[in-house]
């Protein structure tokens, strides 16, 4: 209690000094460090600062606070759909999804945890995976045929242009239903000359294809709150 009273008195002195224009220099040990931190920290009224509190930092996985919120309003969903239609050339240009092939083994949990682990599971070489540079800028550097789904919220991204790699990997969320997301990438793949096959593995749908040494793989699943969550990996593009 005594320490708290000292801290309160020190804080009150600082406020009074600010009002009078007088600058007081507290002696070491006079002010509680927690009070100093509270005074110096930014007030979290700006949405961009809402992720600053890292009381659960062990769960952030190295996130750099760039995560956008997912806008799942009907208007936002319609806008995303319209942009997707424009990217494939119109509503009637979507290709019918291929039949689902034989069920595959569920992707191991350790291969889902990070986008770099997913890239390794998708077949990227160990050397290319080691060369991956993580950062949201790589979401903007996805190959032209395989962009992040329109208005999708990127959660994690990585890429490498090391010799022989040309590797990109991104995790994103969208409120657009999974079937429409799959149809978008299936259409983009075929239009770019890729093959495209569909498989089921546990709770995930896997769309993958190749073209002259290049490849793509999309792992999509129903995420929380009705969102579609997807990992997209491209190589050789």
Q: What is the distance of C-alpha 100 from the center of its chain? A: 27
Note the pLDDT of residue 53: 39
Token pair listed for 109: 């949990």
pTM value?
0.73
7: left (phi over 0), alpha (psi -120 to 50) or beta: alpha
Burial class (CB in 10 A: 0-12, 13-18, 19+), 191: middle
**What pLDDT does 69 receive?**
78
Per-residue pLDDT in tens (0 to 9) along the chain, 237 residues: 544 444 444 444 444 444 444 444 444 444 444 443 333 333 333 333 333 333 333 333 334 444 567 899 999 999 999 999 999 999 999 999 999 999 999 999 999 999 999 999 999 999 999 999 999 999 999 999 999 999 999 999 999 999 999 999 999 999 999 999 999 999 999 999 999 999 999 999 999 999 999 999 999 999 878 899 999 999 999
Q: Which residues contact 53 (CB under 8 A, 6 or more apart)?
A: 44
> How do beta strands 204-211 and 228-235 pair?
unpaired
Distance CA 139, CA 221 (A): 19
Per-residue pLDDT tens for 55-71? 333 333 334 444 567 89
Residue 67's pLDDT is 57
Task: Supply the pLDDT for residue 219.
Answer: 98
Residues forming a β-bridge with 197: 208
């Amino acid at each position: 209690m005594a320490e708290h009273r000292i801290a309160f008195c020190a804080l009150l002195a600082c406020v009074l000094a600010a009002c009078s224009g007088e600058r007081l220099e507290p002696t070491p040990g006079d002010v509680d460090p927690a009070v100093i931190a509270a005074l110096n920290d930014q007030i979290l009224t700006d949405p961009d600062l809402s992720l600053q509190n890292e009381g659960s930092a062990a769960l952030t996985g190295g996130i750099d606070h760039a995560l956008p919120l997912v806008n799942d309003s009907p208007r936002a969903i319609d806008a995303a759909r319209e942009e997707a239609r424009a990217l494939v050339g119109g509503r009637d240009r979507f290709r019918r999804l291929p039949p689902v092939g034989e069920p595959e083994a569920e992707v191991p949990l350790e291969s889902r945890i990070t986008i770099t682990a997913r890239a390794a599971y998708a077949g990227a070489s160990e050397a290319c995976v080691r060369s991956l540079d993580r950062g949201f800028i790589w979401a903007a550097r996805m190959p032209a045929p395989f962009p992040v789904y329109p208005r999708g919220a990127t959660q994690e991204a990585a890429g490498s242009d090391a010799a022989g790699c040309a590797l990109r990997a991104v995790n994103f969320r969208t409120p657009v239903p999974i079937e429409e997301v799959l149809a978008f990438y299936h259409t983009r793949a075929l239009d770019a000359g890729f093959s495209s096959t569909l498989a089921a593995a546990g709770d995930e749908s896997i769309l993958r294809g190749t073209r002259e040494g290049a490849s793509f793989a999309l792992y999509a699943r129903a995420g929380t709150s009705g969102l579609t969550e997807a990992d997209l990996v491209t190589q050789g593009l």
